[in-house]
Structure 1
């Protein structure tokens, strides 16, 4: 399968030249356009020149690590979805990636077919959602901001609030069922990561609260329901 000009454009960042070349060839065969970079500096140059649909990023690189690059991009860079590759498989390392704003995580060694599947899942999640079956679902007020479920867009006095793919999917799932408690399992399914652990879901909620709550330590809108899950309480 050859990539077309409108195929998703991926940036693969890995300091292992052999793995980088293998990924570039495999993903191109899967129909993606692929650009490769050997380190964070090369990735930054590529991101400054091209708008990518997704970045496949190795966590362990000389100089600036993948986690450090992710933290920097999430602070003041483009909101490109990120799939982290790492030799580390411990839950704490996975959580660290989610805390920095990674959309998904795949431990080495991995099956390339699983990588392609996860990439497509993230891209679907990041794409504008189709109108919900119940078209009466209107914008939901969250303090001084409004979330439009049909556009999956959060707006406030400052304009559009930038959300990562995971944050957007989480808020969409909650906003489509306001005042209804969603279990962590339901949220994981909505995020397209049914294998995600409870801690990973809690991290996504924490990240979302930082963007919508006046005081994330005392959440008014995304509330925890002990032993059950989370609920969105719309309002001012």
Structure 2
């Protein structure tokens, strides 16, 4: 199971885990189902960028149904998530535990300024190609995840729901692994999210701002 705010770069963990499991994983990502909402085009026309608020429940139900059915068949799953709440990952983990799954949590730790910038870039890139399928991330949604990420991770670690917890950064580094590290995962995550910026992060911010300006000029 994955955690991290919108735009944090969880696709990097996708690649790491797919390599680790030699491709023997089914990726379940709720965002990919938003476009399959029966009224998607109408919602886009009426609400534009805000249509995400009207496709969220549909995408969530699709994810729940897939997890239920695929876990019944014993497939290895990679489940995209945000850790916006404790309840959703806890419910999913509890379900999978009853089916004898080993459950790991991998969190992407990205500075909030970088992740939100990435959502803006993604929107502009998609809008240039296809305005109808461009999906914006409301800043309040992004920030709400960030605000609760550390405390939710701490809560989940204390509940001992997961067999292993890992924290990654965009450069593919694993900065924390509960099977090797004894300190609190939440403490490590807090430092990575809100601590001092590295040179690489500063360069990412500069490049990202340049890319956004370039896209807005098109």
TM over 0.5, shorter chain? no
Q: Which has the higher contact order (CA 8 A, sep 6+)?
A: 2
Greater fraction strand: 1
Decide which structure has greater helix share. 2
